[in-house]
């Protein structure tokens, strides 16, 4: 049981003075799987990753990576992890190739091995043309790719990706996703932090939702979505009369209404059937709608709903 988990976090706590940042975080990552740690800014995602990657001391809890204890065996942990994202960086004055070779040597690779891996990664990450330019001349997307490549130089079995796509343009984000998916298909264990539900949904096997230093939900994207809420149908009307009439008509399935924008919200389980049913109801009652939109659950909804539930 224990050996099937590459990362085990038990009751991790960390506070700065009186401010408690992590209030007992626990979760596991199965070997060869990808878990997304999803949460808003300040939820404790980066703090968790920094504690796991030996960069930050923690007050209590047990962190194990590949069987090594983070607190008592930091060097062993460092030799099996790779870290990339907002808490890592590349050397701006060195070229892409020099960055790769330098970190390869510091992972204790032989010089030949470091050179070979650097070549491979430059090729895999589409950085061959820029290989011998200083990293400060790279675009944001290239720099992230180099950053990730650098952390893969010694092919560590466990990778931490700390918000790898935050601040990237859509095209660079897609390129990054492809790289991460390929990495996953090669059997690397990955812990990804992100504030984008879509990213977690797209990439991860399991999602751990964290807020205010606590895990508030955990499961596959599907499980979480069904727990969190469904798609919503929003109908907007031209005037207060039709709005009121529609409200009366749909009262049984209504989940929200807004007098100012003359909009009603209806929870839908099955997009086709439910929408058709609502529309036919309205047309039978000869109520015209001004506009209509189907809203997917957003990260905002996830948090609002999850924290609401906890408060009530």
Residue partners of 132: CB distance under 8 A and separation at least 6: 95, 96, 97
Provide the token pair at 190: 């990955």
d(CA 183, CA 202): 14
Quick note: the x/- pattern for other proteins over 112-131, rule CB under 8 A, is xx--xx--x---x-------
- Counting Cα atoms < 13 Å in the Cβ hemisphere of 121 gives 28
Of 70-78, 202-210, 214-222, 260-268, the segment contacting other proteins by CB under 8 A is 70-78
Name the token pair of 72: 């008592």
CB of 202 to other proteins, least distance (A): 22
Q: Could you give the CA distance from residue 168 to residue 246 in angstroms, rounded to a whole number?
A: 43
Question: Which of these ranges, 20-28, 72-80, 230-238, 295-303, lies near other proteins under the rule CB under 8 A?
Answer: 72-80
Q: Which is nearer to other proteins, 67 or 74 (CB)?
A: 74
- The site for other proteins, by CB under 8 A, has a size of 42
* Residue 203 beta carbon to other proteins: minimum distance, rounded to whole angstroms: 20
Task: Count other C-beta atoms under 10 Å from residue 179's C-beta.
Answer: 19
For the segment 83-102, give every residue that binds other proteins (CB under 8 A). Answer: 83, 86-91, 93-94, 98, 102
d(CA 255, CA 278): 14
Residue 91 vs 274, nearer CB to other proteins: 91
Q: Which residues on neighbouring strands pair with residue 39, listed in sequence order?
A: none
* Element containing residue 143 per DSSP (H, E): helix 140-151
Alpha-carbon gap, residue 217 to 223, rounded angstroms: 10
Binding status of residue 105 toward other proteins by CB under 8 A: yes
**Shortest reach from residue 103's CB to other proteins, in Å:** 7
Nearer to other proteins, 91 or 301 (CB): 91
The 3-state DSSP class for residue 111 equals helix
Residue (of 86, 30, 90) closest to 53 by Cα position: 86
Query: Which string of x and - marks every residue 181-220 that binds other proteins (by CB under 8 A)?
Result: -----x----------------------------------
Least spacing, CB of residue 83 vs other proteins, in Å: 4
Return residues touching other proteins (CB under 8 A). 50-51, 53-57, 74-75, 78-79, 81-83, 86-91, 93-94, 98, 102-103, 105-110, 112-113, 116-117, 120, 124, 134, 150, 154-155, 186
């Amino acid at each position: 049981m224990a050996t099937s988990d590459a990362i085990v976090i038990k009751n991790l706590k960390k506070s700065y003075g009186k401010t408690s940042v992590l209030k007992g975080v626990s979760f596991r990552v199965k070997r060869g799987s990808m878990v997304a740690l999803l949460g808003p800014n300040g939820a404790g995602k980066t703090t968790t990753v920094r504690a796991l990657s030996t960069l930050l001391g923690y007050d209590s809890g047990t962190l194990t990576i590949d069987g090594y204890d983070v607190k008592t065996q930091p060097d062993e942990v460092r030799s099996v992890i790779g870290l990339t994202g907002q808490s890592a960086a590349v050397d701006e004055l060195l070229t892409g190739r020099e960055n790769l070779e330098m970190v390869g040597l510091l992972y204790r690779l032989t010089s030949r091995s470091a050179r070979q891996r650097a070549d491979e990664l430059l090729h895999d990450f589409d950085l061959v043309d820029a290989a011998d330019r200083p990293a400060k001349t790279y675009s944001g997307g290239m720099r992230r790719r180099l950053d990730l490549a650098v952390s893969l130089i010694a092919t560590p079995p466990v990778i931490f990706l700390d918000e790898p796509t935050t601040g990237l343009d859509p095209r660079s984000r897609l390129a990054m996703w492809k790289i991460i998916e390929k990495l996953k298909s090669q059997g690397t264990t990955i812990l990804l932090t992100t504030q984008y539900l879509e990213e977690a949904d797209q990439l991860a096997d399991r999602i751990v939702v964290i807020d205010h230093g606590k895990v508030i939900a955990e499961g596959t994207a599907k499980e979480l979505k069904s727990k969190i809420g469904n798609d919503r149908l929003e109908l907007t009307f031209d005037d207060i009369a039709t709005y009121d009439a529609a409200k009366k008509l749909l009262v049984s399935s209504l989940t929200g209404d807004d007098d100012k924008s003359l909009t009603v919200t209806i929870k839908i389980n099955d997009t086709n059937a439910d929408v058709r049913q609502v529309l036919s109801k309205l047309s039978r009652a000869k109520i015209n709608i001004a506009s209509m939109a189907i809203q997917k659950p957003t990260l905002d909804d996830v948090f609002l709903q999850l924290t609401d539930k906890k408060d009530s």
